Amino acid sequence: MTAPRRILLTGASSGLGREMARHLAGPGVAFLLCGRRADALKAVATELRDAGATVETALVDLTDVAAAQDWVDTCAVQPVDLAILNAGMFDGRGRDGALESPMRAAVQVETNLTAPVTLGLRLADHMRDAGQGTILFISSLGAFSAHADAPSYSASKAGLTAFARALREDLAPDGVRVAIAHPGHIETPQTEVHRGPLPGIMPAARAAKVILSGLARGRSEIDFPGHLRWGLRFQSLLPWRMQARINRGLRFWVDDGPGDGKGK
């Protein structure tokens, strides 16, 4: 894979997005970054510039389809070599035992599924016209496992993987590459609010290295940790009641802070 020069990255202000930007930074690289927190995004931009990259930043509500499309159109005035659609959110059962409200479920689906779908479609138009480019969708191993404590999250990631696979097939004849990463638990703000077992958890810097190494080797799907992915493959062959029995030891809840009202 030729080293990308213009890189679009959502969710760049912290966690996995920030670490991927750090790995890719260097002279001759131009970043087009989007995040939710101005101060954190500014700090990341400064670090990347210190590494020799040029950086443009934007605060965009990615669930606002028109605003997100305008941002992509502005970024694609010159061809985008690599687009990493990383922004997402995590929610689920609260400490009170109740699942997230319908409103919070809708926001989660908009953030994790609708936003990358609409961004991906717009980027696909631009890359198809340019005859080149790569779109990397950051999904999750949760796409292959229906978590009873986070059904909306599971559905959003399963939908994202299905969409990315379909888009990959559609764009392949036009010279546009689509790749999907399915990481397990990563040390990010997401796992900081997760109250329960976190098998196979790894630092964000290591996860970023695994994803970008797989991308550089030409892999279309980057699933890790491998033992968890194979375990999920086997589990999917079992009756659902047996799967539920296996999952009992992995049940969890999500802590949003004191009171944990979570908008219910």
State mean pLDDT over 123-142: 97
- How far apart are alpha carbons 121 and 249 in whole angstroms? 39
pLDDT digits (tens, 9 = 90+) for 135-150: 999 999 999 998 999 9
**In the prediction, which pLDDT does 259 show?**
41
The alpha carbon of 257 is separated from its chain's Cα centroid by a whole number of angstroms, namely 23
Superfamily holding 6-254? NAD(P)-binding Rossmann-like Domain (3.40.50.720)
- Whether 118 sits among the annotated catalytic residues: the reply is no
Question: The dihedral of CA 136, 137, 140, 141: what is its sign?
Answer: negative
Domain boundaries, the chain: 6-254
Q: What's the pLDDT score for residue 150?
A: 96
Tell me the pLDDT band of 4, cut-offs 50, 70 and 90.
low
Q: What is the pLDDT of residues 18-62, one digit of tens each?
A: 999 999 999 999 999 999 899 999 999 999 999 999 999 999 999
The residue annotated as part of the active site, out of 31, 153, 224, 253, is: 153
Q: Which pLDDT band holds residue 258 (cuts at 50, 70, 90)?
A: very low
- Cα distance between residue 261 and residue 264, in whole Å: 6
Cα dihedral across residues 239, 106, 114, 218: positive or negative: negative
**Which residues fall within 8 angstroms of residue 229, CB to CB, at 6 or more apart?**
141, 144, 182, 223
| Mean confidence (pLDDT) of the chain | 94
Please tell me the distance from the alpha carbon of residue 73 to that of residue 59, in angstroms, as a whole number.
Answer: 15
pLDDT of 260: 42
pLDDT at 190: 87
